[in-house]
Amino acid sequence: MVDDKPIPVTVFTGFLGSGKTTTILQLLKQLPEEYKVCLLKNEFGDVAVDSLLAKETNIGVQEMMNGCLCCVLVGQMKLALLELKEKYNPDRIIVETSGSAFPQGVSLQIRDMAADGFVLDSIITVVDCVNFRGYEDTSYTANLQAQYTDVILLNKHELVSEQELDLVIDHVNELNTDTPKVKSDSKHGVSPDLVLGLDTQLFKVAYDKTGAMEEMVFDPHHQENEVDLIQVTVPASQGAWFTRDYLEQWLKTLPKEDIYRVKGFVRDGANQQLFILNHAFGRFTLTPVAHQETLQQSRDIAIKITIMGQDLRLFQPRIEKALVKNGQGTLQLIEAHRH
């Protein structure tokens, strides 16, 4: 039976040479082997070079040449997405636009395909920290890409000085103050938890050989990507006070510029309903758990979440006070490696 859930589509934009392809390839290497991803690339010219690299990752790849998705190739993207869906039935499709694409046109086309079984997950813009200040004044497209996006990846940040990075961030903030900026380096890329699965489609429940739930709510290489973690666990026996209303009010207090994601399991102490929590850059969803095996495996859990962001040591006391009442539970801070 074919899953009738819509296929989430993640769009990567970024000016010429910003590092979109490299970022995507690094991202694909971090995903579970059983998670099926297809890549739709849009490039100028007629030589499908990057697809040869991408195909080495064992995913379905299709390139659209000699035109731009947002204008020249309007209509062809729909045919390409439908073909990928029919051929591979993927869990997700990543669209990599050409360096000159306007993100609005691409996103509107995807939104118009809701009836065909697709949903726009997010638009990710890759900013080249080495060259951005050189082309921002001359490229209308680069400015639009920085403005119309859900997450801005500060790529190649390790190749510039701290002073230069601050200047780049200042210039990006002039175009877009509110959108989260996340560091992505040339070697490790960025954690999938920060740019994929904003619609909760990527979240999966996994069990180890003993039947216990595995720690699957974050990328194990997050430290290399300069993301701090705080892991919170509270047993069900100590979580009667923790209600859905309390949780929602607490989530609204989290600053999205510092705390990127919150993912895991939470139980409403008022009615004992278990939820999957997915909080992304200020937005969140709570999905009721109905699967009996999951309910059984998590029967002793009131809170089991991972918080991801920058400089979380500053937020540790505040989070501990809010979630670990009177020491009934555990909180662990894992600081990222700094380049």
pLDDT tens digits, residue range 229-276?
Answer: 899 999 999 999 999 999 999 999 998 778 888 888 899 999 999 998
Quick one: average pLDDT of 20-31? 85
Q: Higher model confidence: residue 120 or residue 14? A: 120
Parallel, antiparallel or unpaired: strands 37-42 and 92-96: parallel
Residues 167 and 151: their CA atoms lie apart, in Å, by: 19
Half-sphere exposure of 15 (CA within 13 A, CB side): 23
Q: Domain residue spans in the chain?
A: 7-195, 217-334
Half-sphere exposure of 327 (CA within 13 A, CB side): 0
Residues 170 and 149: their CA atoms lie apart, in Å, by: 17
Quick one: average pLDDT of 72-79? 64
Is the model's pLDDT at 223 over the cut of 50? no
Do 156 and 129 contact (CB within 8 A), yes or no?
yes
Of 31-45, 141-155, 189-203, 235-249, the range with the highest mean pLDDT is 235-249
The pLDDT, as a whole number, for residue 257 is 76
For the domain made up of 7-195, the CATH class stated in words is alpha beta
Instruction: Look up the pTM and report it.
Output: 0.68
Span 217-334 CATH architecture? 2-Layer Sandwich (3.30)
The pLDDT, as a whole number, for residue 327 is 81
Quick one: average pLDDT of 68-93? 72
Instruction: Please provide the average confidence, as pLDDT, over all residues in the chain.
Output: 77
The model's pLDDT over 234-244, given as tens digits with 9 standing for 90+, comes to 999 999 999 99
Is the model's pLDDT at 227 over the cut of 80? no
The pLDDT, as a whole number, for residue 202 is 43
Helices (H), 72-219: 76-88, 103-111, 132-135, 140-147, 162-175, 192-195
Q: Which residues contact 62 (CB under 8 A, 6 or more apart)?
A: 38, 39, 40, 41, 51, 80, 83, 84
Query: Sign of the C-alpha dihedral, residues 85, 88, 94, 100?
Result: negative
Q: Which residues contact 258 (CB under 8 A, 6 or more apart)?
A: 309, 310, 311, 312, 314, 315
Quick one: average pLDDT of 107-118? 89
Q: Higher model confidence: residue 42 or residue 211? A: 42
Burial 129-161, CB ≥16 within 10 A → b, else e: bbbbbebbeebebbbbbbebbbbbbbbbbbebe
Q: Higher model confidence: residue 214 or residue 46? A: 214
Q: pLDDT band at 173, cuts 50/70/90?
A: confident
The pLDDT, as a whole number, for residue 69 is 42
Is the model's pLDDT at 201 over the cut of 60? no
